[in-house]
Chains A and B, each alone.
Chain A
Amino acid sequence: MQDGHIPKPGTAEIEQYENVDDIPKREVTQKQLLDSGDDPEGWLLYGNNYERHHFSTADIITPKNVSNLSLEWKHETVQNARQAAWFQGSVLVIPGDPPIIYQTNGTEQTRAINARTGEVLWFHQYHPKGIVSESEPPANRGVGVLGDTVYKATLDHGVLALNRYDGTEKWYYNGAYEYRGETAEGSRQLAMHDELQTWKRNRSQASNYPIVPFEDMFVMGSSGGEWGVHGWADGVTTDGEQAWHTGMTPPDQWVGDAWKHGGSTVWQAPAIDPESGTTVLPTGNPGPWFGTVRPGWNPYSAGKVAVDFHSGDVKWNYQESPHDWWDYDSPSPAVIYEAEMDGETRKLASWPGKTGWVYTVDLETGDLVERSEEYVEHINTWAIPPQNMEDAEWTAPHLLGGTDPQPSSFDPQRRTLFLKANNQPMKMAWSYIDYEMGEEYKGETFITASDNQQGSIPEWEKPPGNITALDPVTGKIKWQDWMDEAPWGGLLSTTTGLTFAGTPSGNLVAYDSETGDRLWTEQIIPRLDGNPVTWVDPTTGKQYVYIQGGGGTEQNVIAVYSMEG
């Protein structure tokens, strides 16, 4: 940090290990980021390209040989700050000799790892200002890299810029300085809005927002939808200066002051169309959950908001659950792609929602092109919850989805979207308690149907979770793999027709993308919540597949499998 001073509200520990100098001193260029999706030797963005396809052109591993995948290296008990901290993230892999992995997990940990050996080269632990909730384990879903800098969101609504070669700190961006149009007193780097430093932080806080640098900027989001917040997104320069600030509860479209607690947070990563700069932000549910105090559509909640990347100006928004009562926010990132429709090439954005359908919109207008077949069951959907549980009826989708933050993968060659889904009914009711700033702020109680209740709940016929493949343009389902628990974490698809996914029973599975057949299964850990990524190392001639998971239990694992070409 400049002059040895660290202008950030929290504190940090940095450890540099013996072989830290193994990190190649090669800056990551903007061109490399733009080409990442087509370059099999790296995974330089959360999702591997700006369009968030979670797709790789690496082609050593195929449906025919995937059964020969073998373990390359594994860390079975990675140090974590709290046993409850989750490993839901996606790593970046920077090509080089050796390739370097940048890995994160909750709470607030970042590592540089030699991708060939698994050796940790540096370690950064941030201790944010404020309180981390014990009830909701935090996750960090990944960092961004550009030039010689690693960008990492923090639980105190900030972003830390770290030197990618040694983990030392460059600057801190204070996202909690300005809130709801009010600026905190004091310096931009140190002062924090009172409300934002008083709240406890949980997993749905800024720390889980993956940073995606593009040209000279990145977008950082906000979250905390269950804590009485209002959502926003900031455009931040790669030098740590605020470029724009866009609120997600436009005051003139809410009644009175309801926008101030209007939720609509932005806690997952954007999809970006580099050509037009259109940036599709996922948004959370409106707040409070008790809907009669905030009548109207409650824009821009529970859907997607497209902003201009460089100005933050809103281009369009699409709501899946206008005036939501059920926590049907829309965190799962969109994918952007081109498709032929009626003889015309159109640029589209698609995503699965908690509502249990995939939405496909025109990227320029946000107009719906198609809504898919239901990929989970809809039971008594849209029934307003009563004020006591005795009167509540079973409803589905569950408040965890449909699809929650799990990022889909998209295979452009097969025009197929792969997603993870929850198919469990819930009962929801409201409760009366005292409101206090800084205390958890959910506004409901709910119960989840157990397996042995299935026979007594009409229309709940399928198992509790699935992985689905569908054509997002026609909305037709291609295949589904039903499972006994709802899967978390993301998916990875490859040009050779494979789709990898972690399962709730702790398996890493390779599916045939065309048929849904399970071609390879490896038991790794009791629960696998991370996003798989893949890359080819030209020096070793191998293709690698990485996944991490655990943390919510006693175990946590980072594992890499490989196959020689």
Chain B
Amino acid sequence: MPGEHHYSQISDEDRREFLKVLGVASAAATGGSAVDDVTLSDLQDLVAVESAGEFARRGEAIRNDLSGALDAELLATEMTGVADAIEGLSAVRAAGVPDRGEELYAELTTPAWRIDDHLTEVDFYASAEANLPRFTSEHIERMTKQLVHTASLAGTLSEVGFDEREQTALVANVVSQADRLALWEPTWVLEEAPVEEVNPDYVSPLQKRAASGALLWIDGLDKHLRKNEVLITDEMLDDGIADVRAMLGGFYLLSAAADRLGRGEISDEELTALVSGSAAIMIAAQTDFQYDLVRISDDMRAPRLGGD
């Protein structure tokens, strides 16, 4: 089933695969936690980081290739807005399908768009894309290890209400979606080996596609729910909103990395892990969102009004 993986319902099998990628032999190694209770902090000291040197080199290059200064004040202000949006999401969900004229979901993204515009303006995305590898299985493995090893990951996600189980699931979901992530190619790959029909001149940097794409999906949700109310069930909506939460969480993580970069408070290897990892989280979440709430099969839809 195309939509079987999404972070809110990640399976024990996916978690085992996650542990395997991290090189953690079994749940026993985490102090006896059950597979579905393993937290990032359980894993942090167990994961061997193999390529800190390379990650540091890439992070330094991202830092050096910015064309402008990051605006600390703007980032701090708008990140508060993103945090408020994540906190307010449950209230928006509780309101059900937005009435005509209401833009409950679109309003959530306003602060995020201001950050997105700023990051575009200072070539943050262009620099990230130019200096980060594509999503091969090898890179995903190394990135995941580095993410788990990065203490600030859990701290940052905790700031915006993601509990330990959710934090682990967000990262494990990236591992589960390795095949899908591989389809997200940097523009430099498209230039070297063009995909038919794709003119790289019109393609944005991968990290911008991850971030702006997530925001576009959220912006269109009010309209989608109104238009398709007869098809949508509570279960679909719950799953889809969980994906929205993951998209916003990923965006907050990206913003926090940029913020700390601007303030000189992030290590180069951490910068690489967080920028690459947050993009992967946003991509995985927007893919899940499509299968949970946008592409609606007969199996999942609400009963037909005319009966079966």
Interface residues of A (CB under 8 A from B): 226, 228, 253-258, 260-261, 287-293, 295-297, 299, 318, 321-323, 361, 365-371, 373-374, 378, 380-384, 387, 430-435, 441-444, 471, 473-476
- Are A297 and B197 touching (Cβ within 8 A)? no
B180, B196, B208 pick with most chain A CB within 10 angstroms: B196
- Are B196 and A292 touching (Cβ within 8 A)? no
Q: What does the 1/0 interface line of B213-234 toward A look like (CB < 8 Å)?
A: 1101101100010111111000
Residue from A258, A291, A368 in contact with B227 in the complex, judged by beta carbons closer than 8 Å? A368
- Are A431 and B226 touching (Cβ within 8 A)? no
Q: Given the interface contacts A292-B209, A296-B217, A373-B304, does A381 sit within 8 Å of B297 by beta carbon?
A: yes
* CB-based nearest A residue for B217: A296
Which residues of chain B are near A473, meaning CB under 8 Å? 306
Which residues of chain B are near A378, meaning CB under 8 Å? 297-298
Which residues of chain A are near B286, meaning CB under 8 Å? 295
Q: Given the interface contacts A368-B228, A368-B230, does A290 sit within 8 Å of B291 by beta carbon?
A: no
B201 at the interface (CB under 8 A from A): yes
- Are A435 and B227 touching (Cβ within 8 A)? no
- Are B2 and A383 touching (Cβ within 8 A)? yes
- Are A442 and B2 touching (Cβ within 8 A)? no
Residue from A256, A291, A322 in contact with B208 in the complex, judged by beta carbons closer than 8 Å? A256
Q: Cα distance A291–B100 when bound, in Å?
A: 30
Q: Cα distance A254–B290 when bound, in Å?
A: 16
- Are B306 and A476 touching (Cβ within 8 A)? yes
Residue from A261, A318, A373, A380 in contact with B202 in the complex, judged by beta carbons closer than 8 Å? A261
B190 at the interface (CB under 8 A from A): yes
- Are A293 and B306 touching (Cβ within 8 A)? no
Q: What does the 1/0 interface line of B282-301 toward A look like (CB < 8 Å)?
A: 00001000110011011001
Which residues of chain B are near A254, meaning CB under 8 Å? 216
- Are B180 and A441 touching (Cβ within 8 A)? no
Residue from B2, B190, B217, B301 in contact with A293 in the complex, judged by beta carbons closer than 8 Å? B190
Which residues of chain A are near B193, meaning CB under 8 Å? 432
Residue from B2, B195, B212, B301 in contact with A382 in the complex, judged by beta carbons closer than 8 Å? B2
Which residues of chain B are near A368, meaning CB under 8 Å? 227-231
- Are B196 and A255 touching (Cβ within 8 A)? no
* CB-based nearest A residue for B308: A373
- Are B197 and A323 touching (Cβ within 8 A)? no
- Are A432 and B306 touching (Cβ within 8 A)? no
* CB-based nearest B residue for A395: B2
Q: Cα distance A434–B2 when bound, in Å?
A: 30
B185 at the interface (CB under 8 A from A): yes
B window 262-305: CB within 8 A of A: 286, 290-291, 294-295, 297-298, 301, 304-305
Q: What does the 1/0 interface line of B187-217 toward A look like (CB < 8 Å)?
A: 0001001111111111110001110111011
B162 at the interface (CB under 8 A from A): no
Q: Cα distance A365–B216 when bound, in Å?
A: 21
Q: Cα distance A383–B212 when bound, in Å?
A: 23
Which residues of chain B are near A322, meaning CB under 8 Å? 220, 224, 290, 294-295
Which residues of chain B are near A299, meaning CB under 8 Å? 220
- Are A370 and B304 touching (Cβ within 8 A)? yes
- Are B190 and A370 touching (Cβ within 8 A)? no
Tell me the total A-B contact number using a CB cutoff of 8 A: 158
Which residues of chain B are near A433, meaning CB under 8 Å? 194-196
* CB-based nearest B residue for A387: B183
Which residues of chain A are near B214, meaning CB under 8 Å? 295
Using A257-B201, A367-B226, A370-B305 as known contacts, list a sample of 10 further A-B pairs with CB atoms less than 8 Å apart, ordered by residue number in A: A255-B212, A256-B204, A256-B208, A256-B209, A296-B216, A366-B227, A370-B230, A370-B304, A373-B304, A384-B183
Which residues of chain B are near A431, meaning CB under 8 Å? 195-196
Q: Cα distance A387–B209 when bound, in Å?
A: 20
Which residues of chain A are near B307, meaning CB under 8 Å? 474
A255, A361, A475 pick with most chain B CB within 10 angstroms: A255
- Are A474 and B185 touching (Cβ within 8 A)? no
Which residues of chain A are near B224, meaning CB under 8 Å? 297, 322
Interface residues of B (CB under 8 A from A): 2-3, 100, 180, 183-185, 190, 193-204, 208-210, 212-214, 216-217, 219-220, 224, 226-231, 286, 290-291, 294-295, 297-298, 301, 304-307
Closest approach, in angstroms, between the C-beta of B231 and any C-beta of chain A? 6
* 6 tightest Cβ-Cβ pairs between the two chains A and B: A295-B213, A474-B306, A296-B216, A443-B197, A256-B204, A288-B197
Which residues of chain A are near B198, meaning CB under 8 Å? 261, 288, 290, 293, 435, 443
* CB-based nearest A residue for B216: A296
Closest approach, in angstroms, between the C-beta of B127 and any C-beta of chain A? 16
Closest approach, in angstroms, between the C-beta of A558 and any C-beta of chain B? 37
- Are A367 and B197 touching (Cβ within 8 A)? no
* CB-based nearest B residue for A361: B227
Q: Given the interface contacts A257-B202, A296-B213, does A430 sit within 8 Å of B306 by beta carbon?
A: no
- Are B209 and A384 touching (Cβ within 8 A)? no
Which residues of chain A are near B226, meaning CB under 8 Å? 365, 367
- Are A228 and B197 touching (Cβ within 8 A)? yes
Closest approach, in angstroms, between the C-beta of B4 and any C-beta of chain A? 11
- Are A288 and B195 touching (Cβ within 8 A)? yes
- Are A290 and B197 touching (Cβ within 8 A)? yes
A378, A382, A387, A473 pick with most chain B CB within 10 angstroms: A382
The 8 sampled A-B contact pairs (Cβ below 8 Å) are A297-B216, A322-B224, A370-B304, A371-B301, A378-B298, A382-B291, A433-B195, A442-B197
Residue from B190, B213, B304 in contact with A475 in the complex, judged by beta carbons closer than 8 Å? B304
Closest approach, in angstroms, between the C-beta of A195 and any C-beta of chain B? 11
- Are A444 and B196 touching (Cβ within 8 A)? yes
Which residues of chain A are near B298, meaning CB under 8 Å? 373-374, 378
Which residues of chain B are near A442, meaning CB under 8 Å? 196-197
Which residues of chain A are near B3, meaning CB under 8 Å? 382
Q: Cα distance A371–B303 when bound, in Å?
A: 10
Which residues of chain B are near A260, meaning CB under 8 Å? 202
- Are A443 and B208 touching (Cβ within 8 A)? no
* CB-based nearest B residue for A432: B193
Q: Cα distance A351–B1 when bound, in Å?
A: 27
Which residues of chain B are near A474, meaning CB under 8 Å? 304-307
Closest approach, in angstroms, between the C-beta of A443 and any C-beta of chain B? 3
Which residues of chain B are near A289, meaning CB under 8 Å? 197
Which residues of chain B are near A257, meaning CB under 8 Å? 201-204
Which residues of chain B are near A293, meaning CB under 8 Å? 185, 190, 195, 198, 202-203, 209
- Are B203 and A256 touching (Cβ within 8 A)? yes
- Are B197 and A435 touching (Cβ within 8 A)? yes
* CB-based nearest A residue for B215: A296
Q: Given the interface contacts A255-B209, A296-B220, A431-B196, does A384 sit within 8 Å of B202 by beta carbon?
A: no
* CB-based nearest A residue for B194: A435
- Are A432 and B216 touching (Cβ within 8 A)? no
Which residues of chain A are near B183, meaning CB under 8 Å? 290-292, 384, 387
Closest approach, in angstroms, between the C-beta of A196 and any C-beta of chain B? 16
Which residues of chain B are near A373, meaning CB under 8 Å? 298, 304
Closest approach, in angstroms, between the C-beta of A218 and any C-beta of chain B? 28
